[in-house]
Structure 1
Amino acid sequence: MSDFTPSSDGIVVVDKPAGMTSHTVVARIRRLAGTRNVGHAGTLDPMATGVLVAGINRATRLLGHLQLADKSYDATIRLGAVTTTDDAEGEIVSTAPVAGVTAAAISSAAEAYRGEISQIPSAVSAIKVDGKRAYERVRAGEEVVLKARTVTVSRYDILDIRVSESWIDLDISVDCSSGTYIRALARDLGADLGVGGHLTALRRTRVGAFDLSAAHTLEALAEDFAWLPIADVAAGTFPRYDADLDQAAAIRTGRPLPGLNLPDGQTAMFDPTGTFLALYEPHGPLAKPTAVFVG
């Protein structure tokens, strides 16, 4: 890892604390990095903790491509109560006895949420409705109904079931596609079981290739600004192609290239010095750019 300067292009992986918005985390990174050109990939709710990937300078343009990656979460679902926000930060609007809910019934209901599913996001999500965030409309007293979207839950493991007199708490671990709302999984599981449900804890443990082992608290970053150069991130996330000088000159200007036989999806293109130039993907006999990061 090279020394960071305010003009460096790279990624910082933050272990976001509870009670802080993703926007506030970005503001902290801007101050630590000495540049305003900082963005993040994949919002985390204020109550959530865990992996938040921030891009600095030209690496902010890489975030849209990283955001397509699968993500992993550890969470706790509380059965027996419905809240206004589908999580513990909202007001409880209804409760139901959980005495008749068995572990077998929970496992059977969870099975419906494995694989490709249709999910209606929580009304208090950050999705924009006519240019305004859904949660802003809800807070303004509007009724918001979002459209269902197709997402993929590749793993939905129930790790522990804890039963009390008034509720049942489930610890779960989930691998899912971007756009999946864990709050919605809690809400829908509770609805299917007839007792309601909401999320009481959420920790994102992975975003694509970045997991908690690469994440740093804001306090640690203030002491030692750990970052990943954009070239390292690109090489670790996408297949790599090392171009010769003539190819590199064409890539720098975003020209299509014949005869590269790139794999499906995006490939990180490097020049002979190891500089990351662009992302390319195959289009028939040609390789064409999806994003160029130099020039």
Structure 2
Amino acid sequence: MTPDFTPTSDGIVVVDKPGGLTSHTVVARIRKLAGTRKVGHAGTLDPMATGVLIVGINRATRLLGHLQLADKSYDATIRLGSTTTTDDAEGEVLATAPPDRVAGVTAEAIAAAVDGFRGEISQVPSKVSAIKVDGRRAYDRVRAGEEVELKARTVTISRYDVLDVRPDADGISVDVSVDCSSGTYIRALARDLGAELGVGGHLTALRRTRVGSFGLSVAHSLESLATSFDWLPIADVAGGTFPRYDADDAQAAAIRTGRPLPGLDLAAGQTAMFAPDGTFLALYEPHGPVAKPTAVFVG
């Protein structure tokens, strides 16, 4: 049974972010509900997007950087036939393909084009991304009328499935489901798919369904959190994510001050270290015959 939350509790809240809110606004809402300012999130979602947003509270904000949150899943709708300034439906239309050219794009052609975007690919992020250019966010520079050129980056698309293709008089809507590495821009996938097909494309809907091991099944709306603050204690998250080591009293005292522990046979990578009373203390990793801390979460 999850203990009652207090403003000094350390843990994670998995939010099902609604459309129209920034990730920063969600963090502000959680600060108010949790009664603490020590709140942060992992993996920004655009205002248009909905779905899984991982929010850390108090000491769990430091745990976010150690969790395996690199792999993400999305459901999205791509609109073929036009391009926009933001690569999504919130931008101004830049160009529209001739109707006869759009009508010539078949479901088979879409499937073949999608094949080329699976695996490790080079992707140029959207110009209105949160990437910093000379200390300022790219989207701030674009909104100020500046021309922004971003460098391509390597990302991995492990799954890119076409779920439905719906042509109409003005274009083609394509529903897709994507598993990808951190740093992937689904808006850029929409833009590049349209470019590959020669008709342009942009994103019209985006829902993140998973971040690491956290999916929609454990996500909560802001409205439900206001009624019942469902959270995951830091000990549960650490114990469920990393191999667990239960220290004795002497070891726990050493761990609390971040001292190396000789003679421990820990698995490669990070191990969650627990006190005899079940308190999550730290993350340690092996360095030859000695285990050393990567992060200590208690004073």
Bin of the TM-score, shorter chain as denominator length: over 0.9
Question: Tell me, which stretches of 5 or more residues in structure 2 are unaligned?
Answer: none
Aligned residue pairs total: 295
- Counterpart for residue 278 of structure 1: 282
* Residue identity in the other structure for 1:47: M
Q: Which is worse superposed, 9-18 or 110-119? A: 110-119
Inter-partner Cα distance in structure 2 for 1:269 and 1:172: 41
1:177 and 1:105, CA in 2 relative to 1: closer, same or farther beyond 3 A?
A: same
Q: Which is worse superposed, 248-257 or 78-87? A: 248-257
Which residue, out of 161, 166, 169, partners 1:162? 166
1:68 and 1:264, CA in 2 relative to 1: closer, same or farther beyond 3 A?
A: farther
1:29 counterpart = 2:30: yes
Question: Tell me, which stretches of 5 or more residues in structure 1 are unaligned?
Answer: none
Inter-partner Cα distance in structure 2 for 1:259 and 1:148: 45
8 Å contact from structure 1 (residues 268, 280) kept in 2? yes
Q: CA deviation at 1:67?
A: 6.3
* Residue identity in the other structure for 1:107: A
8 Å contact from structure 2 (residues 69, 213) kept in 1? no
- Counterpart for residue 71 of structure 2: 70
1:103-142 equivalences under 5 Å are 103-142=107-146
Q: Which is worse superposed, 81-90 or 143-152? A: 143-152
Inter-partner Cα distance in structure 2 for 1:206 and 1:79: 25
* Residue identity in the other structure for 1:240: R
Inter-partner Cα distance in structure 2 for 1:282 and 1:194: 52
Q: CA deviation at 1:269?
A: 1.6
TM-score by length of 1: 0.96
* Residue identity in the other structure for 1:260: L
- Counterpart for residue 149 of structure 2: 145
8 Å contact from structure 1 (residues 80, 167) kept in 2? yes
- Say which SS state the counterpart of residue 279 (structure 1) adopts: strand
Runs of at least 4 residues of structure 1 off by over 4 A? none
Inter-partner Cα distance in structure 2 for 1:284 and 1:228: 33
TM-score by length of 2: 0.95
Inter-partner Cα distance in structure 1 for 2:107 and 2:95: 22
8 Å contact from structure 1 (residues 209, 236) kept in 2? no
1:43-82 equivalences under 5 Å are 43-66=44-67, 68-82=69-83
The CA deviation string for residues 71-106 of structure 1, in whole angstroms up to 9 with x for no partner, is 111100111111100111001101113112122221
Inter-partner Cα distance in structure 1 for 2:161 and 2:27: 32
* Residue identity in the other structure for 2:205: A
